[in-house]
Amino acid sequence: MVSISPNRLKGRVRIYEAPSDDISTWTPMTDWDSNLVVYEWGSIVGHLLNGSGVNYSIGGMYLEFDNTTGDITPPSLDRTRSVSYYNNLSGGTTDYLRVPLTATQLLSSDDTLFPHGNQCVFFARSAGTSGVHGDTFSNTEDSKIFGASLVAFVDDTDATQDLILSSFYFATASQQSKLSTSQIGIEWELTLQ
């Protein structure tokens, strides 16, 4: 039996100023930061490999934000992260945006070893004026994105069925407030080795 370890799925994330859906107009605002692959990645990949349907492909991201002035101390994060964490954010100042992907790319980290590609790149950007639980998302509220998850939208209309592939939190110096002139974009790169 061959063991596929999450160590063979490496990811990194960075934030952009994203004035439009055209990723060529995006400007990086942070350095790359690493992500944590959660246990639900096995279910996502398993369904894709056995042909359960393309609805298990990555459909978007959760962008976690807070409306508290100042730095945000992220909660603890481990591999058990699931959609239930986000469902329980209701109330308080922390909420999240459930946003579709803006663009995707398939690249190769090594053209000799992976000539057909092994590096998936996902782009998404903030949208709307309120989070899933109704908290306002705007520059006037000092809404600050401080974390995100890469998500399979199994049913676009039912977030309770979403599955999380990986999550991360930015260090306080990299947390990004909503801009008055632009949305906040996320580039998420996953490399399968």
The pLDDT tens digits of the residues spanning 47-93 come to: 998 888 778 999 999 999 999 888 899 999 999 999 999 999 876 78
Q: What percent of the chain has pLDDT over 70?
A: 95
Residue 144, sorted as left (phi over 0), alpha (psi -120 to 50) or beta, turns out to be beta
Whether pLDDT at 3 is above 60: no
Q: How high does pLDDT run on average in the chain?
A: 91
Residue 144's pLDDT band (cuts 50, 70, 90) = very high
- Structural domain including 41 reads 7-192
Q: Is 172 a member of any domain?
A: yes
Q: Is 2 a member of any domain?
A: no
User: Model's pTM, two decimal places?
Assistant: 0.92
Closest-CA residue to 185 (of 124, 137, 136): 124
Based on the structure, what is the number of domains in the chain?
A: 1
Q: Is 1 a member of any domain?
A: no
Q: Is 160 a member of any domain?
A: yes
Q: What is the pLDDT of residues 150-187, one digit of tens each?
A: 999 999 889 989 999 999 999 888 899 998 999 999 99
